[in-house]
Structure 1
């Protein structure tokens, strides 16, 4: 399962041994060497409680409504390190020195903790694409202290997420419209086909009546002559 980084923020962290809420996710810490989630900064309950660190290795599961960990003792003190990164707001440059955009959020594989894509915004993104653009993990070269460096030709690997979603929605609408049109057309044909025999039956009944009258006259010509004499 993959989640946007913003999905983690505010999620409660629950220990499975005591069924206790240990706090809520405040921010994410990234390991620049492995380009993956190192752990979560947890805000404890209470005004005077200090933030704690939950290593990703001790995360049992990440769900839609909570993060779980096996033990209530999984939380650690936060150790400041120059190796820790927070990606939001970091600029991304290509190795040719071209500005690609600024990281707004990123997609995480909840099982492995790996960063899958970076979601960028900026003037270049707005000029080339509509809205945010995704830069895949394979396009990243270095996650430095000040900027993230992308490989040569990274511009060509940018994809427009919103356009892709719109195209998918458009495709679904077109297919649905075709199905509806086909259903309406078939309904019309069925209705016409159902009414036609009814009309034909009326014609057939009239024809049969005339045939019967003609047959009676042919079989009983004397009766017909008698009726004519009476009329005269």
Structure 2
């Protein structure tokens, strides 16, 4: 949803050339269809026709500009008969008083709000009137199906006034009926979030040497890690795989350290060395997700309440207007843009308040949601541990290849796979795995550095890759 006042003065940019070439002067509104048809770009004059931008030609409405395909999108109003007829009527919305057909003064129109995709008018911001907020002097009139605009006054159906009254009767009494359930639910979700974070943290510590980077990056993205470490003091010395110090204990992290860590794929090591905790961040995310479950379920309790502050999306469009009564349409918009928590706060409810009203059935839904989240995190952590165990085994195998064994390795039929002193080969690894004695083989690797003479070093036969 967009408000018309913000649109006026917005530059128009052509997508094909990137050129900013026109500015929106006014909105073109069809009162009979309650629809925004487009924007006036140039009012024209005695010898020129007005230039307009139909809403259907708009590719995107951003916070700073309106994007169209090309300059050719702007055309004469005469090319659009529906728009031309509206311009000839010269309807002026701003300053028009809105009254119900039975004589209630709803205020003076100062702005309108429309769906930026369909152009449907959702409502009007008005100043004064019987529902004006005591602080701002403003209220929000929902758009009726029909709006009759006269010279000085626009008439709306009498039912419009009913839609401007806050519908919260009896809720405060209901809020106390399930407080025990909510407390139980809050305790449950908190414990499970903490337990899941601890569980995952432990599994992460077990496997961090091998798969810690990917897991850390999944919880805290590398950009966040780099922003965190800059200017921090390293609590330990970090070395690259070649044994070269990346940073010494006590050093302050600079941009050079960050770049070196990035090149060595050791940003997460630097993050941990400066006090960054993946486990803590995971706990924060779990808590936030549980709160999100509650807000998503309790959001229905916002319906019928009056919004006390504007709510915007990250792209700058409007979710709800100050003074607006929350409808199912507003709730759906809040869900679409993940603004459930913001909407609850804007009507004066906390997540706990909303859930108390909702009652025990929804409390159970939150419990179930927390359980599902907890199980999902545990499963992820278990998978992480499995990947870690596999990485550990692969590393041990790489270290064992080409080394002698310190004992006889037998299969289940007591046939010799390798004798004492024989070298471990890929074939020996495969046979040992099949015979389920791979762990025995890997525990029997000779790891000391032998003292060999030149004759001892000379093998009886050359390898296939040896130089002759």
2:247 corresponds to: none
Alignment partner of 1:148 out of 138, 154, 171: 154
**Judging changes above 3 Å, is the alpha-carbon distance between structure 1 residues 104 and 93 closer, same or farther for their aligned structure 2 residues?**
same
Report the CA distance between 1:28 and its aligned residue.
0.8
Report the CA distance between 1:40 and its aligned residue.
0.8
Partners in 1 of 2:91 and 2:69 — Cα distance? 26
Q: How does 1:1-232 map to 2 (within 5 A)?
A: 2-43=1-42, 52-78=51-77, 79=84, 81-83=87-89, 85-126=91-132, 131-137=137-143, 139-146=144-151, 147-158=153-164, 160-162=306-308, 168=345, 170-171=348-349
Contact 1:132/1:161 (8 A) holds in 2: no
Task: Kindly provide the CA deviation profile for residues 74-118 of structure 1, in whole angstroms up to 9, marking residues without a partner as x.
Answer: 212344734453422111111112221111111111111111111
Q: Going by fraction, where is strand more abundant, 1 or 2?
A: 1
Report the CA distance between 1:135 and its aligned residue.
1.5
Report the CA distance between 1:167 and its aligned residue.
7.6
Partners in 1 of 2:343 and 2:117 — Cα distance? 29
Q: Going by fraction, where is helix more abundant, 1 or 2?
A: 2
Structure 2 stretches lacking a partner, 5+ long: 78-83, 166-305, 309-322, 325-341, 354-468
RMSD, aligned α-carbons: 3.3
Task: Kindly provide the CA deviation profile for residues 10-37 of structure 1, in whole angstroms up to 9, marking residues without a partner as x.
Answer: 2110112222212111211101122111
Contact 2:108/2:129 (8 A) holds in 1: no
Partners in 1 of 2:55 and 2:90 — Cα distance? 13
Question: What SS does the aligned partner of 1:124 have?
Answer: coil
**Judging changes above 3 Å, is the alpha-carbon distance between structure 1 residues 33 and 84 closer, same or farther for their aligned structure 2 residues?**
farther
**Judging changes above 3 Å, is the alpha-carbon distance between structure 1 residues 70 and 127 closer, same or farther for their aligned structure 2 residues?**
closer
Partners in 2 of 1:166 and 1:114 — Cα distance? 22
Comparing 71-80 with 97-106, greater Cα deviation is found at: 71-80
Structure 1 stretches lacking a partner, 5+ long: 176-232
Contact 2:106/2:141 (8 A) holds in 1: no
Report the CA distance between 1:71 and its aligned residue.
2.4
**Judging changes above 3 Å, is the alpha-carbon distance between structure 1 residues 115 and 34 closer, same or farther for their aligned structure 2 residues?**
same
Q: What is the TM-score with the length of structure 1 in the denominator?
A: 0.61
Contact 1:15/1:72 (8 A) holds in 2: yes
Q: How many residues align?
A: 169
1:226 corresponds to: none
Partners in 2 of 1:82 and 1:16 — Cα distance? 31
- Runs ≥4 in structure 1, deviation > 6 angstroms? 163-167
Report the CA distance between 1:127 and its aligned residue.
7.7
